[in-house]
Amino acid sequence: MADPINVVVTGAAGQIAYSLLYQLAAGSVFGPEQPINLRLLDIKPMMDVLQGVVMELEDLALPLLRDVLPTADAGVAFKDAAAAFLVGAMPRKQGMERKDLLAANVKIFKDQGEALEKFARKDIKVLVVGNPANTNALICSHYAPSIPKENFTAMTRLDQNRAQAALASRLGVQYPDAAHAVADLPGKGSLKVSSTVNDNAWLNGEFLETIQKRGAAVIAARKMSSAMSAAKAAGDHMRDWWFGTKPGQWVSMGVVSDGSYGIPKDVVFSFPVTIKDKKFEIVQGLEISDFARSKLDITAKELEEERAEAHQVLMP
| Closest to ligand NDP by CB, 51 or 225 | 225
> Closest separation between CB of residue 49 and ligand NDP, Å?
7
When binding is defined by CB under 6 A, the residue of 24, 179, 183, 227 that contacts ligand NDP is: 227
When binding is defined by CB under 6 A, the residue of 23, 42, 57, 257 that contacts ligand NDP is: 42
Residue type, 182: V
The yes or no reply on residue 24 touching ligand NDP (CB under 6 A) is: no
The yes or no reply on residue 15 touching ligand NDP (CB under 6 A) is: yes
Region from 39-47, 139-147, 190-198, 251-259 binding ligand NDP, contact rule CB under 6 A: 39-47
Residue with CB nearest ligand NDP? 14
| Closest to ligand NDP by CB, 71 or 274 | 71
The yes or no reply on residue 88 touching ligand NDP (CB under 6 A) is: yes
The yes or no reply on residue 13 touching ligand NDP (CB under 6 A) is: yes
The yes or no reply on residue 53 touching ligand NDP (CB under 6 A) is: no
The yes or no reply on residue 9 touching ligand NDP (CB under 6 A) is: no
Q: For strand 268-276 and strand 251-256, is the pairing parallel, antiparallel, or unpaired?
A: antiparallel
When binding is defined by CB under 6 A, the residue of 2, 43, 217, 292 that contacts ligand NDP is: 43
| Closest to ligand NDP by CB, 12 or 183 | 12
Q: How many residues bind ligand NDP (CB under 6 A)?
A: 27
> Closest separation between CB of residue 122 and ligand NDP, Å?
22
When binding is defined by CB under 6 A, the residue of 4, 35, 148, 215 that contacts ligand NDP is: 215
> Closest separation between CB of residue 277 and ligand NDP, Å?
28
- Angstrom CA distances, 228 to 74, 103, 158, 250, stand at 25, 28, 11, 23
| Closest to ligand NDP by CB, 155 or 193 | 155
The yes or no reply on residue 10 touching ligand NDP (CB under 6 A) is: yes
The yes or no reply on residue 82 touching ligand NDP (CB under 6 A) is: no
Query: CB of 239 within 8 A of CB of 29?
Result: yes
| Closest to ligand NDP by CB, 129 or 193 | 129
DSSP conformation letters of the chain: -PPPEEEEEESTTSHHHHHHHHHHHHTTTT-TT--EEEEEE--GGGHHHHHHHHHHHHHT--TTEEEEEEES-HHHHTTTEEEEEE---PPP-TT--HHHHHHHHHHHHHHHHHHHHHHS-TT-EEEE-SSSHHHHHHHHHHT-TTS-GGGEEE--HHHHHHHHHHHHHHHT-S--BTTTTEEEETTTEEEEHHHHH--HHHIIIIIHHHHHTHHHHHHHHHSS---HHHHHHHHHHHHHHHH-PPTT--EEEEEE--SGGGPPTTSEEEEEEEEETTEEEE-------HHHHHHHHHHHHHHHHHHHHHHHHH--
**Binding residues for ligand NDP (CB under 6 A):** 10-11, 13-17, 41-43, 46, 87-92, 108, 129-131, 158, 215, 225-227, 230
